């Protein structure tokens, strides 16, 4: 029999504040509004019943006197306390439905930047619960039907009266004969063993819209798990994971790329062809372009997920300085520097208010 302190995860000498905090934490996780799973609901009832006892000094003292194995007198156990606190004996909850809605399912797929930008279609393979074709979801073989449970008379639960220190209490429990359904499948389907569903692998087409990015989910209504008893299927959610591109970096609907050019090209200007998602296009390098300069290329970014249109491609220019020069090249550069009045060892410190740092920071929101 479960120990009430263990259920709440507290020591036996815990004070009332510790007990209250432990209960509230568990209640937030197990509340039926958060998780409707029947097994979780039963756990929620257990921790609530434990709190009802341990938060009351008199009830807690009586429990401590009886130990963790037997709460109360006359064989009155913990399950009976739960029923007493939750009013199980006060009215008929009714049988559990055999046909219940299925759960949602989630699958992740990878798309590359080109697919994310322009959209694509995929076929995904998913293994999930589907309606049993042999019994059409009924769970019964040979067109039979569930029979009335004689033990609980169709109520799905049985009741008994127990005496305890709380007084006379009527407790209710799910019927062991029909598992709370109120009816019994005497001749279960051999394919699904009475569940009304079987596991099967399906191939499902998915249309991926232009502009998706990592974390976006596509909802496919009714393509999730079929519920017990052949109940309606939940939804299938396809979560997008965009893979990294070789040289393009995505920032929302904007794309960024680095372009290395020579000193001569930067000084004199030129036209260079670059590879984009739309193929090769020319980019004009203005004379005197500095390292860290940015060149916007309109409408060559990623498609807007909603509303159409595309972002821009931002080209970040990096001027490459030669690392090895022969004597002739050194002499020419020195003559060039002399002609401009440049002296060796001279430099100008650039602040963060301009130049490469600010442009790069602005481009990436840093």
Domains and CATH numbers, the chain: 1-86 (1.10.287.110), 249-364 (2.60.260.20)
The whole-number pLDDT of residue 245 equals 95
Pick the closest to residue 56 from 67, 45, 64 (CA basis): 64
Beta pairing class for 236-242 and 105-111: parallel
Q: How far apart are CA 141 and CA 245, in angstroms?
A: 55
3-class secondary-structure state, position 225: coil
How far apart CA 151 and CA 361 sit, in angstroms, is 75
Please name the residue that has the structure tokens 């006060």. Answer: 90
Task: Quote the pLDDT of residue 308.
Answer: 78
Q: Which of 35-39, 163-167, 185-189, 262-266 has the lowest mean pLDDT?
A: 163-167
Check residue 322 and report its DSSP letter.
P
Q: Convert the pLDDT of each residue in 184-198 to its tens digit.
A: 999 999 999 999 999
3-state secondary structure of 243: coil
CB 231 within 8 A of CB 102: yes
The confidence band for 163, taking pLDDT boundaries of 50, 70 and 90, is low
Q: What is the DSSP string of 90-156?
A: GS---PPPS--PPPPEEEEEEE-HHHHHH-EEEEEEEEEEEE-TTTTTS-BSTT--PEEPTTTTTSS
Tens-digit pLDDT profile for residues 256-288: 999 999 999 999 999 999 999 999 999 999 999
Under the banding of pLDDT at 50, 70 and 90, the label for residue 340 is: confident
Residues with Cβ within 8 Å of 240's Cβ and at least 6 positions away in sequence, in order, are 108, 109, 111, 116, 208, 212, 213, 214, 215, 216, 217, 218
Residues 6+ positions from 220 with CB-CB distance below 8 Å: 204, 206, 235, 236, 237, 238
Crossing angle of the two packed helices 38-54 and 57-66, in degrees rounded to 10: 100
Beta bridge partners of 127: 201
pLDDT band at residue 2 under the 50/70/90 scheme: low
Between 81 and 337, the more confident residue is 337
pLDDT averaged over the chain? 84
Phi-psi domain of 38 (left: phi exceeds 0; alpha: psi -120 through 50; beta: other): alpha
User: pTM of the predicted model, to two decimals?
Assistant: 0.63
How does pLDDT run across 85-133, given as a tens digit for each residue? 444 444 446 788 999 999 999 999 999 999 999 999 999 999 999 999 9
pLDDT of residue 362: 54
Instruction: Determine the pLDDT at residue 355.
Output: 47
pLDDT value for 135: 94
SS3 for 255?
Answer: strand
What's the rounded mean pLDDT across residues 23-32? 80
- Helix axes 16-30 and 38-54, enclosed angle (nearest 10): 170
What backbone phi and psi angles, to 5 degrees, belong to 159?
-130, 155
Q: How confident is the model at residue 148 (pLDDT cuts 50, 70, 90)?
A: very high
């Amino acid at each position: 029999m479960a120990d009430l302190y263990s259920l709440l995860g507290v020591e036996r000498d815990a004070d009332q504040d510790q007990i209250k905090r432990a209960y509230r934490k568990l209640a937030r996780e197990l509340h039926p509004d958060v998780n409707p799973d029947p097994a979780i609901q039963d756990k929620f009832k257990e921790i609530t019943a434990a709190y009802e006892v341990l938060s009351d000094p008199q009830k807690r003292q009586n429990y401590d006197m009886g130990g963790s194995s037997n709460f109360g007198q006359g064989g009155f156990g913990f399950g009976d306390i739960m029923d007493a606190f939750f009013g199980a004996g006060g009215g008929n909850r009714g049988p559990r439905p055999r046909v219940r809605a299925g759960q949602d399912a989630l699958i992740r797929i990878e798309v590359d930047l080109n697919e994310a930008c322009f959209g694509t279609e995929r076929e995904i393979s998913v293994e999930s619960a589907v309606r049993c074709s042999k019994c059409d979801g009924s769970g019964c073989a040979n067109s039979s039907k569930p029979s009335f449970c004689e033990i609980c008379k169709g109520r799905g639960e049985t009741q008994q009266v127990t005496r305890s220190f709380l007084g006379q209490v009527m407790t209710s429990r799910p019927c062991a004969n029909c598992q709370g359904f109120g009816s019994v499948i005497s001749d279960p389907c051999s394919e699904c063993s009475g569940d009304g569903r079987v596991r099967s692998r399906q191939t499902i087409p998915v249309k991926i819209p232009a502009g998706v990015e990592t974390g976006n989910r596509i909802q496919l209504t009714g393509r999730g798990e079929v519920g017990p008893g052949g109940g309606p299927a939940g939804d299938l959610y396809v979560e997008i994971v965009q893979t990294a591109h070789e040289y393009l970096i995505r920032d929302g609907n904007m794309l960024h790329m680095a372009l290395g050019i020579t000193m001569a090209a930067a000084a004199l200007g030129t036209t260079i062809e670059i590879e984009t998602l739309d193929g090769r296009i020319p980019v004009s390098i203005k004379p005197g372009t500095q390292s860290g300069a940015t060149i916007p290329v309109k409408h060559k970014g990623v498609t807007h997920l909603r509303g159409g249109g595309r972002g821009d491609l931002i080209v970040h220019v990096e001027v490459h300085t030669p690392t090895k020069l022969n004597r002739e090249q050194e002499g020419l550069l020195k003559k060039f520097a002399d002609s401009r009045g440049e002296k060796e060892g001279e430099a100008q410190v650039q602040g963060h208010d301009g130049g490469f740092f600010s442009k790069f920071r602005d481009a990436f929101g840093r």
